[in-house]
């Protein structure tokens, strides 16, 4: 970006210098009168152009306009990137501390920024890039004609260290003990969620509340899974603080307000070590499942080495235990496992069997373990509980099943009635597979399903992974009390014939399923619509508003 400023200055100097040279006796080139004012005027003009228009972000000339990233350009044409862009695209680890300072790491580079060097808004923290982008692996150039900042990777995208432990950066809460209850899934999901805001915030969330207020018909001995955790969090049922509903007393409290609102959870469905490490590096702890032959810490197993706190299972049993990956060590010797895998390397995992088990509650699991990371969950975006004032939803049990028309694309819609004068701010839904593209529409006045043809585009984008996503809309929609409106989503998910996530009958565990609480519709082409409830399901599509 500096290049364009330098070019402008050179041209100005050259032009004014030539004029002066023709009048100079000794031929010396000097700055003509008004040079500084002219250069300053150009700078102001360029910065005003950038400020008055949305600045696009290009990576190797490919636009990221459909993704929710942003940059800021100040009056001196210095570029600042938001924390999510540095994490998602540049491969940085961005750590925010309680005093507002930020540490940015990428590979072997590490920079600390005090709060007065950052630009903070309601939604973002912007981090200086002009003097740091190249050391973070990118050349950067401002393109005036496109009002865009183009980033070019110069190091081959190698940003992960060989060894990383979140504990070293104060990003992990203390180890806890589930006892003999089947609550490892809740410890793993909430423990992973806790890491997202650390070290800026250190919260201990209530496992009892998640285990006993998730809406599924399972008792504490029957276990659970990540879809239950995501549904509980996405519905604003939780999380609540541990001291509000302490663990292990067999009781729970109702009516508690969620302390955070989940906005995004990424689901990785294939064992890809680079993706898992990248998720830890960028976002926080990763919830995953393994087959643990031991049912609790005092037992032993041929797959577990007590001396080295290492575990490697090479059988074909299905997962039965959840824990959190908080780091990795590519150099961890394979000889430390009782059964030797073919290569070195281990994930550093936080368990929920107390500090007496393993290495003060942690164990090292081989990259080649039969189950680890075959499915992994990253709670990649969490907000304070005042991000939106109201939630409209019909899918309290979340993503239980899928529906579609044998095609990778479909439409789905939910109809709601505004409870007061409000502003429609965002919607949320699930992407049931990677590389999903979507468009969001509004129907201002809904009367019957024919109204769904009269829809207006208010947002679009794409996701790289399956998961739960919240989409902030391009513009705010005013709603009046009693107004019946509909939100419509077009979704395209490669490789699936049923791209729509639905709440539906999932057997005994969903016996409290309620299909009377909503009005949903599904369609292949967005022209002929069918009631979701007549297909025994609710579509997973929530709406978020603020009071006017």
**What's the confidence (pLDDT) of residue 50?**
53
Fill in the DSSP letter of residue 147. Answer: T
**What's the confidence (pLDDT) of residue 4?**
44
**Entry field: residues in the chain:** 548
pLDDT in tens, 373-423: 999 999 999 999 999 999 999 999 999 999 999 999 999 999 999 999 999
Q: What is the arithmetic mean of pLDDT over 207-229? A: 91
pLDDT at 444 over 70: yes
**What's the confidence (pLDDT) of residue 42?**
52
Question: What angle do the packed helices 35-51 and 2-21 form, to 10 degrees?
Answer: 150
**What's the confidence (pLDDT) of residue 121?**
84
Residue 446 token pair: 């809904």
DSSP track, 325-355: EEEEETT--GGGSSS--SS--EEEEE-SB-T
Q: How far apart are CA 292 and CA 311, in angstroms?
A: 9
Question: What angle do the packed helices 226-234 and 184-196 form, to 10 degrees?
Answer: 50
**What's the confidence (pLDDT) of residue 51?**
55
pLDDT in tens, 371-383: 999 999 999 999 9
Q: Measure Cα distances from 380 to 132, 383, 509 in Å.
A: 25, 10, 27
pLDDT in tens, 73-89: 888 888 999 998 999 89
**What's the confidence (pLDDT) of residue 525?**
96
Cis peptide before 339 (omega within 30 of 0): no
Q: What is the arithmetic mean of pLDDT over 218-234? A: 91
**What's the confidence (pLDDT) of residue 46?**
59
pLDDT in tens, 160-193: 999 999 999 999 999 999 998 999 999 999 999 9
Q: Are the beta carbons of 339 and 156 closer than 8 angstroms?
A: no
**What's the confidence (pLDDT) of residue 47?**
57
**What's the confidence (pLDDT) of residue 53?**
55
| Helix spans in 251-298 (H) | 273-282
pLDDT at 23 over 60: no
Three-state DSSP at 434 gives: coil
More confident residue, 210 or 14: 210
pLDDT in tens, 250-297: 899 999 999 999 999 999 998 999 999 999 999 999 999 999 998 887
Residue 235 token pair: 């519905």
> pLDDT class for 56, splitting at 50, 70, 90?
confident
pLDDT in tens, 293-340: 988 877 789 999 999 999 999 999 999 999 999 999 999 999 999 999
More confident residue, 2 or 428: 428
pLDDT in tens, 449-505: 999 999 999 999 999 999 999 999 878 899 999 999 999 999 999 999 999 999 999
Average pLDDT, the chain: 89
> pLDDT class for 220, splitting at 50, 70, 90?
confident
pLDDT at 516 over 50: yes
Calculate what percentage of the chain has a pLDDT beyond 70.
90
pLDDT at 440 over 70: yes
pLDDT at 124 over 50: yes
């Amino acid at each position: 970006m500096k290049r364009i400023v330098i070019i402008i200055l050179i041209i100005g100097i050259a032009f004014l210098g030539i004029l002066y040279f023709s009048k100079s006796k000794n031929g010396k080139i000097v700055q003509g009168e008004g040079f500084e004012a002219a250069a300053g005027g150009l700078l102001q003009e360029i910065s005003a152009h950038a400020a008055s228009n949305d600045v696009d972000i290009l990576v190797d000339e490919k636009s990221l306009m459909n993704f929710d990233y942003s940059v800021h350009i100040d009056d001196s044409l210095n570029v600042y990137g938001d924390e999510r862009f540095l994490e998602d695209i540049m491969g940085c680890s961005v750590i925010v501390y309680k005093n507002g300072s930020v540490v940015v790491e990428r590979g072997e580079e590490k920079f600390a920024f005090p709060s007065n060097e950052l630009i903070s808004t309601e939604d973002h923290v912007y981090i200086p890039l002009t003097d740091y982008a190249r050391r973070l692996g990118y050349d950067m150039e401002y393109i005036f004609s496109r009002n865009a900042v183009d980033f070019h990777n110069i190091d081959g995208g190698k940003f992960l260290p060989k060894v990383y432990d979140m504990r070293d950066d104060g990003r992990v809460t203390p180890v806890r003990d589930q006892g003999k209850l089947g609550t490892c899934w809740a410890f793993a999901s909430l423990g992973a969620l806790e890491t997202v805001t650390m070290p800026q915030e250190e919260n201990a969330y209530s496992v009892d509340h998640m285990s006993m207020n998730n809406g599924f018909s399972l008792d504490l001995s029957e276990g659970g899974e990540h879809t239950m955790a995501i549904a509980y969090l996405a519905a604003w049922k939780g999380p609540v603080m541990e001291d509000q509903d302490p663990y292990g007393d067999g009781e729970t409290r109702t009516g508690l307000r969620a302390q955070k609102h989940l906005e995004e959870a990424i689901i990785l469905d294939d064992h890809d070590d680079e993706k898992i490490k990248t998720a830890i590096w960028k976002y926080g702890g990763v919830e995953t499942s393994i087959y643990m032959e031991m049912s609790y810490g005092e037992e032993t197993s041929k797959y577990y080495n007590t001396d080295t706190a290492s575990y490697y299972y090479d059988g074909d049993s299905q997962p039965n235990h959840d824990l959190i990956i908080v780091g990795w060590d590519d150099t961890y010797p394979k000889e430390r496992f009782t059964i030797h895998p073919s290569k070195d390397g281990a994930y550093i995992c936080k368990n929920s069997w107390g500090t007496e088990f393993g290495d003060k509650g942690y164990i090292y699991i081989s990259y080649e373990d039969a189950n680890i990371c075959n499915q992994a969950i990253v709670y990649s975006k969490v907000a304070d509980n005042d991000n939106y004032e109201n939630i409209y939803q019909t899918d309290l049990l979340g993503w239980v099943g899928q529906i579609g028309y044998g095609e990778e694309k479909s439409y789905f819609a939910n109809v709601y009635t505004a409870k007061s004068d409000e502003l429609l701010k965002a919607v949320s839904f699930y992407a049931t597979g990677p590389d999903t593209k979507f468009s969001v529409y509004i129907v201002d006045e809904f009367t019957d399903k024919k109204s769904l043809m009269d829809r207006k585009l208010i947002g679009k984008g794409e996701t790289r992974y399956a998961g739960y996503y919240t989409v902030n809309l391009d513009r705010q929609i005013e709603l009046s009390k009693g107004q019946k409106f509909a939100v419509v989503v077009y979704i395209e998910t490669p490789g699936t014939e049923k791209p729509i996530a639905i709440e539906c009958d999932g057997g005994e565990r969903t016996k409290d399923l309620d299909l009377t609480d909503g009005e949903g519709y599904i369609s292949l082409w967005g022209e002929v619509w069918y009631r979701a409830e007549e297909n025994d399901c609710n579509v997973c599509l929530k709406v978020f508003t603020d009071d006017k």
